[in-house]
Amino acid sequence: MRATFSLGRIAGVRIGVHWSVLVIFFLLALGLAQGRFPQVEPGHTPALYWGAALVTSLFFFASLLAHELAHAIVARRNGVQVEDITLWLLGGVARMRSEATNPAAEVRIAGVGPLVSLLLGVLFGLCAWLLHLGHASGLLVEAVLWLAVINVLLALFNAIPAAPLDGGRLLRALLWRRTGDRLRATINASAAGRAFGWLLVAAGFLLFVVTRTFEGLWLSLIGWFLIAAATAEGRQAQVRTTLGGIPVRQAMTPDPVSVPIGLTVSQFLTDPRHRYRYSAFPVVSEGGKAEGLVTLDRARRVPEEQRESRTVGDAMLPLAQVTTVAPDVPLADLLPRMEPGAEHRVLVLEDERLVGIISASDVSRTVTYLMATHQHTGEWRKRQ
Q: How far apart are the C-alpha atoms of 283 and 307, rounded to whole Å?
A: 17
The residue among 380 and 299 whose pLDDT is bigger is 299
Cβ atoms of 184 and 192 within 8 Å: the answer is no
What are the residue ranges spanned by the domains of the chain? 5-242, 248-368
To the nearest whole percent, how much of the chain has pLDDT over 90? Answer: 54
Question: Can you state the percent helix, strand and coil of the chain, rounding each to 5?
Answer: 60, 15, 25
pTM of the predicted model, to two decimals?
0.76
pLDDT digits over 198-211, tens only?
Answer: 999 999 999 888 88
Q: Residue 299 — φ and ψ, nearest 5°?
A: -65, -40
Q: Kind and range of the H or E element at 179?
A: helix 166-179
305 is catalytic: no
To the nearest whole percent, how much of the chain has pLDDT over 70? Answer: 95
Q: How far apart are the C-alpha atoms of 142 and 37, rounded to whole Å?
A: 8
Short-list 197, 186, 244, CA closest to 219: 197
pLDDT at 22 over 50: yes
Helix (H, G, I), strand (E, B) or coil at 100: coil
pLDDT at 5 over 60: yes
Average predicted confidence (pLDDT) for the chain: 87
Q: Which of 68, 99, 106, 233 is catalytic?
A: 68
pLDDT at 176 over 90: yes
pLDDT of residue 248: 93
| 248-368 CATH fold | CBS-domain (3.10.580)
Separation of CA 337 from chain center: 10
